[in-house]
């Protein structure tokens, strides 16, 4: 076993290292989001769940509007069941797996690390949205092969709404992960909070129309008209406020 440090220590004096480029942090966080067994299973399940869900309108045509937008919407719902969990793990995992020790000693400017993780979450969201588009196209191909004709209603507006809907769900996961800093708690919250607010929403139109995540269905359906204030409030509630609070907490928190 070699224990020669002579070249290491003397060479280094000549070349003072520069700062870590942000692109490098993003590449590293991308690797961390995709290189563990848990994350690979999760991404596989994300892919599987949207592909499985889209079978429903194919196999039960009478229960669903046979429009392209319906198919795309079902794929989006399939993607967003587990995609927020991927984002949660990317943030909260640093604390739950205690790898923050390593991460924040490799780059002590925590804001850059958090931003790199945010960028990776959005990239994963975009990747998932593209995948969902392909799944939808295949599903539509299958229906037309079976001789069914679908209303061709997917334009730029619907596609954009679909992408924003997927990314909003990812961001809600990011916000919970960075705020709660515990994988188990954040995952539980990501399922329990929307569900319980949904229940509250059945009794309170205020919650149903302004806070409940179903508000984002207007985004998915490209039905922004008259709903912008509600959509904005729900984004504040699910994304902006917890994200800001979570950033503040993660930047200050002692790693122990």
Buried b / exposed e across 30-60, counting CB within 10 Å, b at 16+? bebbeeeeebeebbebbbebbbebbeebbee
Q: Do 174 and 118 meet the contact criterion of CB atoms below 8 Å apart?
A: yes
3-class DSSP assignment, residue 67: strand
> Which residues neighbour 194 within 8 Å (Cβ) at sequence distance 6 or greater?
212, 213
Using the rule CB under 8 A, is 145 a contact of another protein? no
Question: Quick one: 107 or 223, whose CB is closer to another protein?
Answer: 107
Please, what is the minimum distance in Å from the beta carbon of residue 31 to another protein?
6
Q: Mark residues 73-112: x for contact with another protein by CB under 8 A, - for none.
A: --------------------x---xxxxxx-xxxxxx---
Going by the DSSP 8-state scheme, the letter that residue 146 receives in this structure is: T
CA distance 70 to 59: 14
In the region spanning residues 33 to 72, those forming contacts with another protein, defined by CB under 8 A, are: 35-39
Question: Quick one: 104 or 131, whose CB is closer to another protein?
Answer: 104
Which stretch in 25-33, 72-80, 142-150, 220-228 sits in contact with another protein by CB under 8 A? 25-33
Question: Quick one: 33 or 239, whose CB is closer to another protein?
Answer: 33
Binding site for another protein (CB under 8 A): 1-6, 8-12, 16-20, 24-25, 27-28, 31-32, 35-39, 93, 97-102, 104-109, 252, 254-256
């Amino acid at each position: 076993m070699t224990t020669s440090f002579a070249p290491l220590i003397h060479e280094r004096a000549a070349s003072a290292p520069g700062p870590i480029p942000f692109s490098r942090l993003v590449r590293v966080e991308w690797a961390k989001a995709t290189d563990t067994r848990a994350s690979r299973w999760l991404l596989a399940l994300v892919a599987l769940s949207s592909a499985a869900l889209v079978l429903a309108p194919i196999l039960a045509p009478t229960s669903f509007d046979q429009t392209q937008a319906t198919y795309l919407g079902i794929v989006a719902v399939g993607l967003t069941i587990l995609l927020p969990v991927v984002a949660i793990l990317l943030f909260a995992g640093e604390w739950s797996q205690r790898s923050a020790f390593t991460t924040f000693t490799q780059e002590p400017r925590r804001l850059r690390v958090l931003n790199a993780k945010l960028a990776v979450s959005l990239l994963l969201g975009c990747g998932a949205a593209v995948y969902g588009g392909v799944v939808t196209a295949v599903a539509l191909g299958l229906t037309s092969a079976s001789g069914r004709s679908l209303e061709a209603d997917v334009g730029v507006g619907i596609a954009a709404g679909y992408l924003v809907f997927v990314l909003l769900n990812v961001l809600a996961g990011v916000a919970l992960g960075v705020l709660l800093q515990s994988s188990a708690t954040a995952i539980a919250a990501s399922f329990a909070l929307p569900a319980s607010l949904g229940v509250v929403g059945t009794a309170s139109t205020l919650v149903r129309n302004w806070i409940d995540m179903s508000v984002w269905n207007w985004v998915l359906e490209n039905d922004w008209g008259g709903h912008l204030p509600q959509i904005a409030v729900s984004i504040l509630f699910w994304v902006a406020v917890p994200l800001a609070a979570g950033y503040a907490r993660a930047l200050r928190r002692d790693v122990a």
